[in-house]
């Protein structure tokens, strides 16, 4: 019995040693270090972000040229908590927005109490300053009463401006996209400059051999060599 007990105890001890040893070895082998960058980088997403940042926003006229007042009505749902754009509509938390294009900034109707920061802006509402205002009211008029974060999407702004423009007795024609004229000028300027440059280089190459011949390289070398010889 004692022998058998010792044998069993021996195997148990041995198994324990093996288990302990293998756990140490496994710990060494699978020891993982904290990666410098956490998470899994997804290339497409990173590139998309970089591309979005690099993409310059076009002037608002570009988006107004394809603006849709019907879509603007949906965007206006975000404004409707504080504004209406109906003729003779009541001021709410924000002023009535009927016929806002070309209206003096912070004039409003029926005596809406505008904030001083907006009153100080001056001028009249147009495509450009409406777009900037709606992009970020806080940036346009720091301290404004319009507690609205803004519409970061330029097409949303153009659509809602087109919607507001339609809420007038005399809606203005939406501006044409400025890129059309810019694109027409671009290629015209490019080739003209390019045509001039080869002419200049041809003249230069024609003149260069004369210059090379006229260079007083030997003359310069002559006095220089005599000068070294003299002393
Ligand atoms: C939380 C309420 C609120 C929301 C939402 C809001 N506005 Fe306003 N809005 C105001 C207030 C208040 C003013 C007056 C600001 C001041 O006096 O500083 C104002 C002013 C304006 C003005 C200037 C009016 C004038 O006669 O000079 C325009 C234009 C305007 N808002 C358009 C919008 C549009 C478009 C949206 C939606 C995209 C919107 N607002 C969303 C509250 C709001």
Q: Report if residue 7 sits inside a domain.
A: no
Closest CA to 66 of 178, 181, 150: 178
Q: Report if residue 162 sits inside a domain.
A: yes
Q: Is the pLDDT of residue 48 over 50?
A: no
Both structure tokens of 12: 């148990």
Q: How far does the centroid of ligand 1 lie from the alpha carbon of residue 209, in Å?
A: 72
pLDDT classification of 217: cutoffs 50, 70, 90: very low
Which atom of ligand 1 lies at the shortest distance from residue 109's CA? 26
Q: Which of 84, 148, 154, 161 to mutate to test the pocket of ligand 1 (most atoms within 8 A of CB)?
A: 148
Judged on CB neighbours under 10 Å (0-12, 13-18, 19+), 65 is middle
Q: Is 85 in the pocket of ligand 1 (CB under 6 A)?
A: no
Q: Is 144 in the pocket of ligand 1 (CB under 6 A)?
A: yes
Q: Given this model, what pLDDT does residue 54 score?
A: 47
Q: Report if residue 80 sits inside a domain.
A: yes
63/59 Cα distance (integer angstroms): 8
pLDDT classification of 28: cutoffs 50, 70, 90: confident
User: Are the C-beta atoms of 165 and 174 separated by less than 8 Å?
Assistant: yes
Question: Which residues span the domain enclosing 85?
Answer: 60-166
Closest residue to atom 33 of ligand 1, CA basis: 79
Q: Is 72 in the pocket of ligand 1 (CB under 6 A)?
A: no
Q: Is 160 in the pocket of ligand 1 (CB under 6 A)?
A: yes
Closest CA to 174 of 43, 20, 67: 67
Q: How far does the centroid of ligand 1 lie from the alpha carbon of residue 93, in Å?
A: 8
Q: Report if residue 65 sits inside a domain.
A: yes
What CATH number is attached to the domain comprising 100? 1.10.760.10
Q: Is 69 in the pocket of ligand 1 (CB under 6 A)?
A: no
Closest residue to atom 41 of ligand 1, CA basis: 79
Q: Report if residue 50 sits inside a domain.
A: no
User: Are the C-beta atoms of 189 and 108 separated by less than 8 Å?
Assistant: no
Q: Given this model, what pLDDT does residue 150 score?
A: 97
Tell me the pLDDT tens digit for each residue of 96-136: 999 999 999 999 999 999 999 999 999 999 999 999 999 99
Q: Given this model, what pLDDT does residue 155 score?
A: 97
Q: How far does the centroid of ligand 1 lie from the alpha carbon of residue 175, in Å?
A: 23
Number of structural domains in the chain = 1
Tell me the pLDDT tens digit for each residue of 60-98: 999 999 999 999 999 999 999 999 999 999 999 999 999
137/144 Cα distance (integer angstroms): 7
Taken as a whole, the chain contains a residue count of 231
Q: How far does the centroid of ligand 1 lie from the alpha carbon of residue 75, in Å?
A: 13
Q: How far does the centroid of ligand 1 lie from the alpha carbon of residue 53, in Å?
A: 28
Q: Report if residue 11 sits inside a domain.
A: no
Q: Supply the mean pLDDT for the chain.
A: 79
Tell me the pLDDT tens digit for each residue of 131-173: 999 999 999 999 999 999 999 999 999 999 999 999 999 999 9
Q: Is 105 in the pocket of ligand 1 (CB under 6 A)?
A: yes
Closest CA to 81 of 96, 98, 93, 99: 93
First to last CA, the chain: 117
Q: What is the 3-state secondary structure (H, E, C) of the chain?
A: CHHHHHHHHHHHHHHHHHHHHHHHHHHHHCCCCCCCCCCCCCHHHHHHHHHHHHCCCCCHHHHHCCCCHHHHHHHHCCCCCCCCCCCCCCCCCCCCCCCCCCCECCCCCCCCCCCHHHHHHCCECCHHHHHHHHHCHHHHCCCCCCCCCCCCCHHHHHHHHHHHHHCCCCCCCCCCCCHHHHHHHHHHHHHHHHHHHHHHHHHHHHHHHHHHHHCCHHHHHHHHHHHHHCC
Q: Report if residue 221 sits inside a domain.
A: no
Q: Report if residue 150 sits inside a domain.
A: yes
Q: How far does the centroid of ligand 1 lie from the alpha carbon of residue 68, in Å?
A: 21
How large is the angle between the packed helices 127-135 and 154-166, nearest 10 degrees?
Answer: 130
């Amino acid at each position: 019995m004692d022998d058998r007990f010792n044998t069993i105890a021996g195997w148990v001890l041995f198994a324990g040693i093996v288990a302990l040893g293998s756990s140490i070895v496994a710990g060494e082998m699978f020891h993982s270090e904290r990666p410098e960058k956490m998470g899994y980088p997804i290339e497409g997403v990173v590139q998309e972000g970089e591309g979005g940042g690099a993409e310059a926003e076009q002037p608002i006229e570009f988006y107004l040229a394809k603006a849709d007042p019907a879509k603007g009505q949906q965007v206006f749902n975000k404004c409707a908590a504080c504004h209406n754009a109906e003729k003779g509509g009541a001021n709410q938390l924000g002023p009535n927005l009927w016929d806002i294009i070309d209206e003096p900034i912070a004039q409003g109707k029926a005596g809406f109490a505008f904030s001083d920061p907006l009153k100080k802006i001056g001028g009249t509402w147009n495509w450009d300053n409406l777009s900037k205002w709606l992009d970020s009211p806080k940036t346009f008029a720091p301290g404004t009463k319009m507690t609205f974060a803004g519409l970061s999407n330029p097409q949303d702004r153009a659509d809602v401006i087109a919607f507001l423009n339609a809420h007038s007795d005399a809606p203005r024609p939406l501006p044409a996209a400025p890129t059309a004229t810019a694109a027409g000028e671009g290629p015209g300027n490019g080739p003209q400059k390019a045509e001039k440059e080869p002419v200049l280089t041809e003249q230069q190459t024609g003149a260069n051999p004369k210059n090379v011949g006229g260079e007083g390289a030997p003359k310069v070398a002559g006095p220089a060599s005599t000068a070294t010889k003299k002393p």
